[in-house]
Amino acid sequence: MEWIDGFDWVAWLRAGLILLLGWGLAKVAGLAAGRAARRYTAAQETMLVQRVVFYGVLALSVVTALQQMGFDLGVLLGAAGILTVAVGFASQTSASNVISGLFLIGERAFVVGDTIKLGNTVGEVLSIDLLSVKLRTPDNLFVRVPNETLIKAEIVNLTRFPIRRVDLLIGVNYKEDMAKVQRVLQEVAERNPLCLTEPEPLFIFSGFGDSAMNLQFSVWAVRENFLELRNSIQREIKQAFDAGGIDIPYPQRVLHLAEPLAVRHEAPPADDKGIGDARE
């Protein structure tokens, strides 16, 4: 039990106390730094500042505690350097994600709170960290995307600008008057309170389809009213078309024969009983 007699309980108790107080101080300092940074920076920069301050204060507390326990920091720093090099070679993907995360934060293509589309995934940005970006989808699912994937992919920011355009693709019967159709659509847009008058609604004739004349009618809405306008204006267009007698045709095909078909009718062959009956 000689090692127990030589064990410095006071130093270890002091180190544990330093770690406990350091963790609490790091928590308080991180929150205070976050509140101060929130006045001048966006949400993701605020989160980054808060984490840097927290881990910085915590690292100082760990170093101080190790000194109290009698560890030689020079040896520890040398070992940490060798370990860092080894981990760096073993985790090149993580290093790439860290660098990509710094580019994402600096580029500000999207910020915390934005809704983005990445491939088939649409979600609200919860956080932009050094390794990954966390998203929450409209059906309340959590999605983690590595920063390296984001930096290489095409990202659509759905909430970057204050207004959005609703594009409606419509087909009408070939017998319809296109000027009348345009007038009816314009009246629908004017009656809808969610539709902006500036920019003005856009009417584009797309071309002749297989069974309808195709057109695009585009209206603008405030970003928060986008879904409500898209749903309401389509319902109102259907009602206006019904009231104005404008037909939205079903898919149909018309066949034209290059040559007329010759049709020949042959009577079915009679059996023996039928022939005998005829002779009688």
Residue 100, judged by CB atoms within 10 A of its CB (0-12, 13-18, 19+), counts as buried
For 105-245, list the strands marked E by DSSP.
115-118, 121-128, 132-136, 142-146, 155-157, 163-172, 202-208, 213-222
Structural domain includes residue 249: no
Structural domain includes residue 278: no
State whether 53 and 115 are in the same domain.
Answer: no
Three-state DSSP class for residue 220: strand
State whether 176 and 238 are in the same domain.
Answer: yes
Instruction: Kindly report, residue by residue over 76-99, the tens digit of the pLDDT.
Output: 565 556 556 555 554 566 777 788
What is the reported pLDDT for 106?
A: 80
- From 38, 63, 90, give the residue that closes a domain: 90
What is the reported pLDDT for 141?
A: 96
Dihedral in degrees, nearest 10, Cα atoms 147, 151, 153, 154: 120
pLDDT over 70 at 6, yes or no = no
Residue 276, judged by CB atoms within 10 A of its CB (0-12, 13-18, 19+), counts as exposed
Residue 209, judged by CB atoms within 10 A of its CB (0-12, 13-18, 19+), counts as middle
Structural domain includes residue 225: yes
State whether 131 and 116 are in the same domain.
Answer: yes
**Is beta strand 132-136 parallel, antiparallel or unpaired with respect to 155-157?**
unpaired
Sheet with 155-157, strands from edge to edge, namely: 142-146, 132-136, 121-128, 115-118, 155-157
Structural domain includes residue 101: no
State whether 12 and 80 are in the same domain.
Answer: yes
Ranges of H-type helices in 69-177: 73-90, 92-107, 147-152
What is the reported pLDDT for 72?
A: 64
Rounded to whole angstroms, how far apart are CA atoms 230 and 222? 12
- From 48, 66, 90, give the residue that closes a domain: 90
Structural domain includes residue 260: no
Whether 47 and 34 have beta carbons less than 8 Å apart is answered as yes
State whether 152 and 167 are in the same domain.
Answer: no
Sheet with 202-208, strands from edge to edge, namely: 163-172, 213-222, 202-208
What is the C-alpha end-to-end distance of the chain, expressed in Å? 134
Domain at 217, CATH number: 3.30.70.100
Higher pLDDT, 237 or 40: 237
Three-state DSSP class for residue 203: strand
Structural domain includes residue 186: yes
Count of structural domains, the chain: 3
Helix (H) or strand (E) holding 19: helix 9-38
**Is beta strand 121-128 parallel, antiparallel or unpaired with respect to 155-157?**
unpaired
Structural domain includes residue 152: yes
Range of the domain at 203: 163-244
Structural domain includes residue 273: no
Domain at 119, CATH number: 2.30.30.60
pLDDT over 50 at 2, yes or no = no
Helix (H) or strand (E) holding 188: helix 178-191
Domain at 50, CATH number: 1.10.287
- From 31, 58, 90, give the residue that closes a domain: 90
Q: What is the DSSP letter of 251?
A: P
Rounded to whole angstroms, how far apart are CA atoms 71 and 66? 6
Q: Token pair of 113, please? A: 């709170």
State whether 115 and 60 are in the same domain.
Answer: no
What is the reported pLDDT for 224?
A: 92
State whether 78 and 17 are in the same domain.
Answer: yes
Q: Highest mean pLDDT: which of 1-5, 65-69, 102-106?
A: 102-106
Instruction: Kindly report, residue by residue over 182-233, the tens digit of the pLDDT.
Output: 999 999 999 999 999 999 999 999 999 888 999 999 999 999 999 999 999 9
Rounded to whole angstroms, how far apart are CA atoms 274 and 258? 42
Q: What is the residue-averaged pLDDT of the chain? A: 81
State whether 204 and 240 are in the same domain.
Answer: yes
